[in-house]
Structure formats: C-alpha cells, structure tokens
Copies of this chain bind each other. A is one copy, B any other.
Amino acid sequence: MLELHRRLLPAVIAASAPTPCFLPSRGALRLPRSRPRRLRGKPSSTVRAVAGPGPVVGGAPAPEMAQREVARVLADQAVAWLGPRLLPSAVPADVAEFRSSAGNAVGSLDVRRGAPGSSIDFMLQSSLHCKVPNGAIDITSILIFLNALTDAPHFLLELIQGSPTSIVVILDLLPRKDLALHPDYLQMYYENTQIDQQRGKIEELPQARLYRSPSLFVRSACSPTAVMVSIDCGQGGERAFEEIVRGQLATVTQEVLQIWLDNCADSTADMEETERDCLLKRDRIVRTKSIEVDLTANLPRMFDPDVSNRVITEIRRAFGVQEA
C-alpha cells in the first residue's frame, strides 16, 4: 500500500491529461441510465447499488465531497441543456461500477452517446475513490466530446483531490484546430467568449498555484485559456477549501460549461474533405495519447487487471480508438 501511495498520487497528478476520464470512482457522479436528468441530492439507483446512501469502501463509508457536488451540478446543467441530444447510457453494469478486490478502490463510469444528427459524440463521466494510507485520492471527470459535424472545442473537466484541503483542477475547452494556424478559430471560441476571464477568477485565489502537467503533450493539447491550477489550503484549511470548491470553483466550472453549451454544443461547420480528415486525425491522436498517458499507466495500479482492462476497453470505445 505504501508503494501504491508513493507511486500513485504523484503518478495520478503527474499524468493528469486533458482528455482522460482516467481513474474513475464511486457512483456519486453517475448519470442515471433511465432518466435524462437526475435531481440534485437524489442518488440514482446505480449509485445506491454500488455504494449505498453511505457508500462503503473497504468496509468504511467514503465521505460525500464538495468536488462531487460540483461535478454533479455541472452534469445536471449539461444534461438539462443537451436533453434529447444525449442517448441513454450504454455502459455494461460491471464497468458502470467497479472495485478493486482489495476493497480499497471503487470507480464508476458512465458514457452517453450523442443522438444521431446531433454534434455530440459522447458525454463521459467518471469518478474514482481510492483509499491510501494517509487518506484517499478522489478524481472526477466530465468530458463532452463533439463529432465531425463541427470543429468546435470539446468540454473537459478533471478534479483530482489528494487531500481534504487540496485539489488539482483542469478545465478547458479543448481546441480541435491548430490555434496558431487558425486565429479566426481562436477569436471565435476563446477571445469572443471572454473565457479567459474565468481562468483569471480561479488563478487570482491566493491558494491557487499554476499546475503544469509534466506531459508536454497534455500542455500542447490544451487551449491557452485552460484552467490548470492546484488549490492548496494547507493543514487546517478545510473550511476555506470547502468555500472555494463550492464557491469560486463551482461558479467558474458552471460558467465555462455554459460558454461551451452556448457556443459549441450545437454548432456545425462546413468543412472540406481534407479539413475534416485533418480534424479527425487530430482528434484521434489527442484521444489516443490521452488514454495512453493516463489510463493504461494508472488504472492497473488501482484495480485488478480484468477490471482495469474492462474499463479501459469501454473508454476506448467511447473515444472511438479501440485497439485493433
């Protein structure tokens, strides 16, 4: 366990890529499969099935967390706006929730494909809770990726919490074109939307420090307005931390999502064939690299091989980058 702890947290933090749903967890974040929108505070049947109202990990209940509430509200916002553009969940039960045989880690994954004719490729939510000797690691992700009917950016949120008072936040509209080659694209989605102001709201927090992924690919794939910060309120900073997560962080994630919903989710673009080919190629590389950097490196450290393989296969399927 010590080895796991020693290797995992740095690895998780280090490898936190811009597109992964890597290391999913407890069902708290999952969208219900039958209903398009879940009411806040009401755990879905799936959640109950995994962890119950007092979710149990290794026999001990895992605490409800501010970051999960933030993600839940955000997912609700997306689902409400997207409505029938999203199909019901299509994830097998043993991937929707999974746990390590040692009982120290539980995860959940939900993938909803976009409805035919919509610009939505998929919405993926994942969550992971992993006990480690000195506490727990909690990671939640929300990804909403678009298909080739549009070249508009994808939406990405990752929250990686390694202690009760610190969290890494990665929040971005993930560009799908080379921004230096396409200043008009940069202007449309990043300048005109004034999204950089949202980044500023988080970075101006005295507890926030810039988080720089050690993966140069991750840095290259993100937009220049990406929120990539580590928020650390230090020992005894539980209250300040809660206030930031439920306050500024919640607000900024919601505002960024709303910018994405208003400007990207419904967009379509006329593209020439070579342009579309380039877009598809770029999408494929970003997706493949992300899975490579994150999932295949990290999931097997937390879950048994059969479990992590199942989960990775399902994510590859969503990403459209199945192995041959």
Which A residues form the contact surface with B (CB < 8 A)?
175, 178-181, 183, 186, 190-191, 196, 210, 216-217, 219-221, 223-225, 278, 281-282, 285-286, 289
Q: A179 — which chain B residues lie within 8 A by C-beta? A: 216-217, 220
Shortest beta-carbon distance, A65 to chain B, in Å? 29
Best-buried of A190, A220, A285, A289 by chain B (most CB within 10 Å): A220
Best-buried of A178, A217, A221 by chain B (most CB within 10 Å): A178
Best-buried of A217, A278, A282, A289 by chain B (most CB within 10 Å): A217
Q: Take A183-B289, A210-B210 as given contacts and tell me if A190 and B216 are in contact as well, using a CB distance cutoff of 8 Å.
A: yes
The docked-state distance in angstroms from the alpha carbon of A286 to that of B178 is 12
Q: A178-B282, A180-B217, A180-B282 are in contact. List 10 more A-B contacts (CB 8 A).
A: A180-B221, A180-B285, A180-B286, A181-B281, A181-B282, A183-B289, A186-B216, A186-B217, A216-B225, A219-B224
Copies in the complex: 2
Q: A217 — which chain B residues lie within 8 A by C-beta? A: 179-180, 183, 186
Q: Take A178-B178, A282-B181, A285-B180 as given contacts and tell me if A220 and B224 are in contact as well, using a CB distance cutoff of 8 Å.
A: yes
The docked-state distance in angstroms from the alpha carbon of A130 to that of B109 is 59
Q: A289 — which chain B residues lie within 8 A by C-beta? A: 183
Q: Check A220–B285 contact: CB distance below 8 A.
A: no
Q: A178 — which chain B residues lie within 8 A by C-beta? A: 178, 180-181, 282
Q: A183 — which chain B residues lie within 8 A by C-beta? A: 217, 285, 289
Best-buried of A216, A217, A221 by chain B (most CB within 10 Å): A216
Q: A191 — which chain B residues lie within 8 A by C-beta? A: 216
Q: A278 — which chain B residues lie within 8 A by C-beta? A: 181
Q: A223 — which chain B residues lie within 8 A by C-beta? A: 220
Q: Which residue of B lies closest to A203 (CB)?
A: B212
